[in-house]
């Protein structure tokens, strides 16, 4: 099938996951066991089954998958509504991040049915039955669906996402033409949900040194800014076999961005800019 927008939910029922054993290459404390199955709500006629990853740091137990039955007639239309419904009506210990509930804060990103998306913009009727809800892929888990993104933000900070200048500050603001401003469209809208970086196989294998699509999209946002005077140092810092060039143009990033951005293309632009300066 041809995918035209990252919003499109995969239609094929198969294959749902790669043909590898569930515990393939998985450290002992990360292996997932079957957890609790909660009873169906009484009197419900329309039910959605959510299989949710749980991890409780305060006891020594391994992560587990709990099964919840959600009464669709009693909760809002989005996955985030269903999670809030579970938290208030079934199990108040279920833990997840959320804030804006409209896809602009990036807090509620998770791996939904095997692909990354923000829970507040994924409708319940787009889920499979049963659906699987995991914390963002390939990250240390703090509790349940809350992942530890310290490393991802450190990588983001490494791109020095602020204006670098050498010329003295002008009397008024630094001016851009309409076209120069337009060159930033598609790279400044990133909400740092990290759906892309968490879904990038290259970042799975080399995430300690490869910056990943989210940080590289931000790097491009400053490289493309006509007011920025730090292009040379910015390129120097990226000119490294790992930081930039571990991107193999797999494009899982572009496929999964809930804002419809194109980090894969931004990385292509950086590689071309690097080539053009001869480095």
φ/ψ of 219, rounded to 5, equals -55, -45
Q: Which is nearer to ligand SF4, 83 or 217 (CB)?
A: 217
Q: Is 272 left (phi over 0), alpha (psi -120 to 50) or beta?
A: alpha
Question: Which tokens in the block code for residue 225?
Answer: 């800014």
Neighbours of 72 (CB within 10 A): 18
Q: Which of residues 102-131 bind another protein (CB under 8 A)?
A: 111, 113-115
Give the residues across from 51 on adjacent strands: 67, 132
Integer angstrom CA distances of residue 105 from 102, 109, 192, 214: 8, 10, 8, 15
Q: Is 143 in the site for ligand FES (CB under 6 A)?
A: no
Q: Is 271 in the site for ligand FES (CB under 6 A)?
A: no
For the bound state, the minimum distance from the C-beta of residue 274 to ligand SF4, rounded and expressed in Å, comes to: 15
For the bound state, the minimum distance from the C-beta of residue 172 to another protein, rounded and expressed in Å, comes to: 34
Cis? peptide before 18, omega within 30° of 0: no
For the bound state, the minimum distance from the C-beta of residue 129 to another protein, rounded and expressed in Å, comes to: 16
Residue in 273, 262, 183 with CA at minimum distance from that of residue 221: 183
| Residue 240 contact, options ligand SF4, another protein, ligand FES, none, Cβ 5-8 Å cut-off depending on partner type | none
Contact 110, 136 (CB under 8 A): yes
Q: For another protein, which residue of 40, 73, 102, 140 counts as binding (CB under 8 A)?
A: 140
Q: Which is nearer to another protein, 76 or 114 (CB)?
A: 114
What string marks each residue from 86 to 125 as x (binds ligand FES by CB under 6 A) or -?
A: ------------xxxx-xxxxxx---------xxx-----
| Residue 68 contact, options ligand SF4, ligand FES, another protein, none, Cβ 5-8 Å cut-off depending on partner type | none
Q: Is 256 in the site for ligand FES (CB under 6 A)?
A: no
Q: Which of residues 190-249 bind another protein (CB under 8 A)?
A: 199, 201, 204, 248-249
For the bound state, the minimum distance from the C-beta of residue 214 to ligand SF4, rounded and expressed in Å, comes to: 4
Cis? peptide before 130, omega within 30° of 0: yes
How far apart are alpha carbons 7 and 9 in whole angstroms?
6
Rounded to the nearest 10°, the torsion over CA 209, 201, 57, 145 is: 120
For the bound state, the minimum distance from the C-beta of residue 182 to another protein, rounded and expressed in Å, comes to: 17
The residues near 133 (Cβ < 8 Å, ≥ 6 apart) are 50, 51, 52, 53, 79, 83, 110, 111, 112, 119, 145
Give the residues across from 67 on adjacent strands: 37, 51
Q: For another protein, which residue of 131, 147, 155, 197 counts as binding (CB under 8 A)?
A: 147
Q: For another protein, which residue of 83, 84, 136, 238 counts as binding (CB under 8 A)?
A: 136
- List residues binding another protein (CB under 8 A): 1-6, 10, 15-18, 20-27, 29-30, 32, 53, 55, 57, 60, 62-63, 111, 113-115, 132, 134-142, 147-148, 199, 201, 204, 248-252, 254-255, 262, 264-265, 268-269, 271-272
């Amino acid at each position: 099938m041809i995918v035209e927008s990252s919003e499109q939910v995969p239609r094929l029922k198969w294959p749902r996951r790669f043909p590898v054993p569930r515990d393939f290459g998985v450290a002992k404390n990360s292996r997932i066991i079957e957890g609790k199955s909660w009873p169906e709500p009484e009197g419900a006629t329309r039910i959605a089954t959510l299989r949710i990853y749980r991890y409780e740091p305060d006891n020594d137990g391994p992560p587990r998958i709990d099964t919840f039955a959600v009464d669709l007639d009693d909760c809002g239309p989005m996955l985030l509504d269903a999670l809030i419904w579970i938290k208030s009506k079934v199990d108040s210990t279920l833990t997840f991040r959320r804030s804006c509930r409209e896809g602009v804060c990036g807090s509620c990103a998770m791996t939904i049915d095997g692909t990354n998306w923000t829970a507040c913009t994924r409708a319940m009727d787009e889920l499979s039955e049963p659906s699987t809800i995991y914390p963002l892929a390939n990250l240390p888990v703090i509790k349940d669906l809350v992942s530890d993104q310290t490393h991802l933000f450190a990588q983001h900070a490494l791109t020095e996402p602020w204006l670098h200048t050498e010329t003295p500050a002008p009397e008024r603001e630094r001016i851009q033409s309409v076209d120069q401003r337009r060159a930033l469209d598609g790279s400044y809208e990133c909400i740092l949900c990290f759906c892309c970086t968490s879904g990038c196989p290259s970042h799975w294998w080399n995430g300690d040194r490869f910056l990943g699509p989210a940080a590289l999209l931000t790097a491009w946002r400053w490289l493309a800014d006509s007011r920025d005077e730090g292009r040379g140092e910015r390129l120097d810092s990226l000119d490294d076999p790992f930081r930039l060039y571990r991107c193999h143009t797999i494009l899982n990033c572009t496929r999964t961005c809930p804002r419809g951005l194109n980090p894969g293309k931004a990385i292509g632009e950086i590689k071309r800019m690097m080539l053009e300066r001869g480095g």
